């Protein structure tokens, strides 16, 4: 496949927001990447074009049957002005895993990486440099074929949009309160819980709304079959430090294979901290707390990196973890991962990819 990406220059550029007003996913940069698929031509016309609204047929299959997948990763600015991505090939591989499960034609992984690099290179001034800020990349694919029959679509669009995002937390990583969900489930074995598809999020909103109304920031999902085993928290993977050992749910087919999760496990191994991927029941977590052995609980994901958990509510049974403060291991992981991402500390795993000046148009 020819990997050249066409570039269409914008006639005017937007005013960039200040670091303070960023938040998450509210501002979008001047350009986006776009590529189309048809059964006849395959993936074709890769291009970087001014950010613009899409025109789609109301009969586009994505609106009816939900063939939509996405990814999320960040570009960071280093102290010396370089821009780097964190483990981007993991996201590209996962995108193709999602494609496979949703019957969407896979994309060329080299072309995707080239698209990331060129888009960021063009948009380098959109990478904010405030503490904790970054440029979020949101690649996604939607089924665009105008047809109401139920089968995999024969036309798709792949887009990558960029959003400068603010620090998830202020100076302190504030522990969140988590509601253990017993009524709704997120994903079943054999379903789509292990891939990043839009429907998983649509299905989770009701439980999230109910939990918010009770004053909880996130949901802790249990397995759909027995309502016993811990799966994930909101859009993050989850870790428990129990009596010196870190445990996290194993990738069982309904849990998302998080890049941050994988990085946490690698770091813990590197530090010789015992870590185990296993099946863990919510009862075991509460029992560990009762024995005084539940030392830390934290979520992991691209958005927050490490999110300490300060309280768990399971059916009205409430436990608090770590005195509403972030635990030392959670802090160490946060500092190590964000340090590598922003080039403040050495990167012994070769996780970062410098994309500072890939191509000048």
Ligand X SMILES: *Cc1c(COP(=O)(O)O)cnc(C)c1O
Q: How many residues bind ligand X (CB under 6 A)?
A: 14
Q: Which of 74, 117, 196, 241 binds ligand X (CB under 6 A)?
A: 196
Least distance from ligand X to the Cβ atom of residue 301, Å: 4
Q: Does 223 bind ligand X (CB under 6 A)?
A: no
Give phi and psi for 81, each to the nearest 5: 85, 5
Interface segment toward ligand X; rule CB under 6 A; list 128-136, 160-168, 252-260, 275-283: 252-260
Three-class DSSP category at 87: coil
Q: Which of 98, 163, 208, 235 binds ligand X (CB under 6 A)?
A: 235
The answer to whether 212 and 176 have CB atoms below 8 angstroms apart is no
The string of DSSP letters for 181-239 reads: PSS--S--TTTTTTS-BHHHHHHHHHHHHHHHHTT-SEEEEE-TTTS-BEEEETTBEEE
Q: Which of residues 68-97 bind ligand X (CB under 6 A)?
A: 72
Q: Are strands 42-50 and 294-301 parallel, antiparallel or unpaired?
A: unpaired
Q: Which of 237, 254, 341, 342 binds ligand X (CB under 6 A)?
A: 237
Q: Which of residues 6-45 bind ligand X (CB under 6 A)?
A: none
Q: Which two tokens stand for residue 154?
A: 């024969």
Q: Does 236 bind ligand X (CB under 6 A)?
A: yes
The answer to whether 61 and 143 have CB atoms below 8 angstroms apart is yes
Least distance from ligand X to the Cβ atom of residue 299, Å: 8
Cα separation, 122 vs 356, whole angstroms = 10
Interface segment toward ligand X; rule CB under 6 A; list 139-147, 253-261, 267-275, 280-288: 253-261
Q: Does 249 bind ligand X (CB under 6 A)?
A: no
Q: Which of 260, 338, 341, 342 binds ligand X (CB under 6 A)?
A: 260
Q: Which of residues 264-323 bind ligand X (CB under 6 A)?
A: 300-302
- Considering the complex, state which of residue 14 and residue 206 has its C-beta at the smaller distance from ligand X: 206
Cα separation, 261 vs 337, whole angstroms = 11
The string of DSSP letters for 276-333 reads: EEE--BHHHHHHHHHTT-EEEEEEEETTTEEEEEEEEEETTEEEE-GGGS--HHHHHH
Three-class DSSP category at 86: strand
Q: Does 261 bind ligand X (CB under 6 A)?
A: yes
- Considering the complex, state which of residue 125 and residue 349 has its C-beta at the smaller distance from ligand X: 349
- Considering the complex, state which of residue 5 and residue 192 has its C-beta at the smaller distance from ligand X: 192
Q: Which chain residues interact with ligand X by CB under 6 A? A: 72, 196, 232, 235-237, 256, 258-261, 300-302
């Amino acid at each position: 496949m020819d990997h050249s990406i066409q570039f269409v220059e914008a006639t005017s550029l937007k005013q960039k927001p200040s670091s303070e007003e960023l938040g998450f996913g509210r501002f979008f940069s001047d350009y986006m990447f776009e590529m189309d698929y048809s059964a006849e031509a395959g993936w074709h016309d890769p291009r970087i074009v001014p950010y613009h609204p899409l025109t789609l047929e109301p009969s586009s299959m994505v609106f009816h049957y939900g063939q939509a997948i996405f990814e999320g990763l960040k570009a960071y600015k280093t102290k010396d002005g370089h821009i780097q991505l964190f483990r981007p090939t993991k996201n590209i591989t996962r995108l193709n895993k999602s494609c496979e499960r949703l019957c969407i034609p896979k994309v060329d992984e080299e072309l995707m990486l080239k698209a990331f690099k060129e888009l960021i290179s063009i948009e380098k001034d959109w990478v904010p440099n405030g503490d904790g800020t970054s440029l979020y990349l949101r690649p996604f694919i939607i089924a665009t074929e105008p047809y109401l029959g139920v089968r995999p679509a024969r036309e798709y669009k792949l887009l990558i949009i960029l959003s400068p995002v603010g620090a998830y937390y202020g100076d302190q990583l504030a522990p969140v309160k988590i509601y253990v969900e017993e009524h709704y489930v997120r994903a079943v074995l054999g379903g789509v819980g292990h891939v990043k598809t839009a429907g998983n999020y649509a299905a989770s909103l009701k439980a999230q709304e109910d939990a918010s109304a009770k004053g909880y920031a996130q949901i802790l999902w249990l397995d759909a079959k027995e309502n016993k085993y811990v799966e994930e928290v909101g859009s993050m993977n989850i870790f428990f430090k129990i009596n010196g050992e870190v445990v996290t749910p194993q990738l069982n087919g309904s849990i998302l294979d998080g890049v941050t999760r994988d990085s946490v496990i690698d770091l813990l191994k590197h530090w010789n901290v015992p870590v185990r991927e296993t099946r863990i029941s919510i009862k075991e977590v509460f029992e560990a707390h009762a024995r005084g052995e539940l030392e830390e609980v934290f979520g992991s994901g691209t958005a927050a990196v490490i999110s300490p958990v300060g309280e768990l509510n399971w059916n009205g049974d409430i436990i608090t973890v770590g005195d509403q403060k972030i635990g030392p291991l959670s802090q160490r992981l946060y500092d190590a991962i964000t340090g590598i991402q922003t080039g403040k500390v050495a990167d012994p795993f070769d996780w970062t990819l410098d994309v500072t000046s890939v191509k000048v148009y």
